[in-house]
């Protein structure tokens, strides 16, 4: 429970609890001292009163009752001694009966056993009640002061951490901002922590910058090579007849080159930004993207003698999508369906706000369904090549575009992967 509270709240609660414990301890201590002092003072006072009463010849219980007292003497059987006073010890004692508490003082004077009884309510109605009220008020004030002190100190303690957080939020908006840590923090523990964050942030920023340069250089080299392959294939296809023996081979190389260019483009988009805004020049409708995926993969399905089709359900509207990213996602889902389906059919089902790839393959067991989206995790039912990155890439594309990827699969009956927009 405490772990869910903010640091400021935990500091305030800690100080309040400390104030409560200290206040309770002091209250108990003061009450104990007061009770002991009360007993000693009442013992002295009642001894003095007993001496004065005994030395007076004209005292009577009627006059003592007016003062809230009663005197019992062993040589005066009237009034009779109550039973609860029979075992009273010599000296001062406090006897509680329901509903009255009495101060009792017992002493032998000149061979006579005297017991002087005083109603404690007379004392409680005055000084003792004021003392108890003061103790309660002091305890409440102590707790409030502890809470206020905790709140003030919490603000002072948390303020540097809040400033540190604000600095790195600004860094997110302005990555080139530098040299702020030394100006904002003193040379203390928080300053050391801030400097450690600054050093780590700088190293990460440099590493990301080097990685960005590396990916730019590598992607440039890959694109250059693929462009040469694609242009060479186009020239060869123009020179050769469709009936030529090498025509289909060159055509396959050209298609593979185009697929690699599309994949590299998608990976670079995912690596360089948290969310890719839709570029109108590179958008297509859902039906156009589905048709492109169908045309790309239909020959592979014909080779395995598996029925591959597109099913359109309902109106598609005029919504546009990032063609490269959605086509890459669909291609990976269709490739998985092709690899893990030996007979039956594979369908792309288009709805207004979703597209599904449904197969009649071997399916995915329940234990692996939560793991299959992770990188380098792949089905082990078939000896297929691959690193297990396809579904992970689809998941990343969906997260990048704000889509969701759902899986429903039954072992032995097939799988249904659905991208919801």
DSSP bridge partners of 103? 94, 118
| Chain centroid, CA 168 distance in Å | 20
| Three-state secondary structure call for residue 154 | helix
- Whether the per-residue pLDDT at 309 is higher than 90: the answer is yes
Averaged pLDDT for residues 5-25:
86
The CATH number of the domain covering residues in 276-420: 3.30.565.10
Contact (Cβ atoms closer than 8 angstroms) between residue 142 and residue 22: yes
Alpha helices in 3-93 (DSSP H): 7-55, 61-66
- How far, in Å, CA of 418 to CA of 415, rounded? 10
Alpha helices in 56-109 (DSSP H): 61-66
Q: What tens digit of pLDDT does each residue of 31-62 get?
A: 888 878 878 888 888 888 888 888 876 667 77
Lowest mean pLDDT among 157-161, 313-317, 332-336, 375-379: 375-379
Contact 388/376 with Cβ under 8 angstroms? yes
Predicted confidence band at 407 (pLDDT cuts at 50, 70, 90)?
very high
Peptide bond into 364 cis (omega under 30): no
Question: Quick check: bond before 319 cis, omega within 30?
Answer: no
Lowest-pLDDT range, 164-173, 246-255, 283-292, 352-361? 164-173
pLDDT at 383: 45
Gap between the Cα atoms of 404 and 401, Å rounded: 9
Output the CA–CA distances (angstroms, integers) from residue 13 to 4, 19, 149, 162, in the order listed.
Answer: 13, 10, 11, 19
Mean of per-residue pLDDT scores for the chain? 81
Torsion of CA 218, 224, 227, 231, to 10 degrees: -160
* Paired strand residues for 414: 410
Peptide bond into 99 cis (omega under 30): yes
224-to-217, 255, 267, 269 alpha-carbon distances in Å: 11, 16, 17, 18
**What confidence tens digit (pLDDT) does each residue in 373-405 have?**
777 666 655 545 555 667 888 888 898 888 999
For residues 245 and 250, give the distance between their C-alpha atoms in angstroms, rounded to a whole number: 10
Neighbours of 154 (CB within 10 A): 20
Mean pLDDT of 316-342: 87
Whole-Å CA distances, 240 to 8, 183, 219, 230, 255? 77, 71, 31, 15, 17
């Amino acid at each position: 429970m405490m772990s869910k509270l903010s640091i400021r709240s935990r500091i305030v609660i800690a100080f309040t609890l400390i104030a409560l414990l200290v206040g309770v301890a002091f209250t108990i201590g003061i009450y104990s001292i007061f009770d002991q002092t009360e007993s000693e003072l009442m013992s002295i006072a009642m001894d003095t009163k007993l001496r004065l009463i005994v030395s007076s010849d004209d005292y009577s219980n009627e006059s003592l009752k007016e003062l809230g007292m009663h005197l019992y003497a062993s040589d005066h059987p009237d009034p009779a001694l109550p039973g609860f006073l029979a075992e009273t010890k010599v000296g001062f004692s406090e006897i509680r009966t329901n509903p009255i508490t009495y101060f009792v003082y017992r002493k032998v004077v000149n061979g006579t056993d005297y017991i002087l009884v005083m109603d404690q309510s007379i004392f409680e109605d005055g000084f003792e009640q004021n003392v108890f009220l003061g103790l309660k008020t002091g305890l409440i004030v102590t707790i409030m002061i502890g809470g206020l002190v905790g709140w003030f100190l919490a603000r002072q303690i948390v303020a540097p951490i809040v400033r540190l957080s604000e600095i790195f939020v600004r860094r997110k908006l302005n990555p080139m901002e530098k040299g702020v840590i030394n100006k904002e923090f003193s040379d203390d523990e928080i300053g050391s922590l801030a400097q450690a964050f600054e050093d780590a942030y700088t190293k990460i920023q440099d590493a990301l910058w080097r990685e960005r340069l590396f990916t730019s250089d590598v992607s440039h080299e890959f694109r250059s090579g693929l462009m040469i392959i694609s242009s060479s294939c186009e020239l060869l296809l123009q020179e050769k007849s469709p009936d030529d023996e090498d025509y289909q081979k060159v055509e396959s190389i050209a298609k593979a080159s185009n697929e690699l260019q599309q994949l590299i483009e998608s990976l670079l988009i995912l690596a360089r930004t948290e969310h890719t805004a839709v570029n109108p020049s590179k958008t297509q409708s859902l039906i156009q993207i589905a048709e492109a995926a169908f045309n790309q993969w239909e020959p592979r399905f014909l080779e395995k003698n598996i029925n591959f089709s597109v099913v359109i359900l309902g109106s598609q509207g005029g919504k546009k999508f990032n063609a490269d990213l959605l086509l890459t996602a669909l291609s990976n889902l269709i490739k998985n369906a092709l690899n893990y389906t030996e007979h039956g059919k594979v369908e792309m089902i288009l709805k207004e706000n979703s597209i599904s790839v449904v197969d009649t393959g071997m399916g995915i067991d329940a234990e692996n369904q939560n793991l299959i989206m992770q990188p380098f995790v792949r089905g082990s039912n078939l000896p297929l090549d691959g690193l297990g990155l396809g579904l992970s890439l689809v998941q990343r594309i969906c997260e990048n575009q704000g889509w969701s990827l759902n899986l429903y699969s039954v072992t032995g009956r097939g799988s249904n992967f659905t991208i919801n927009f």
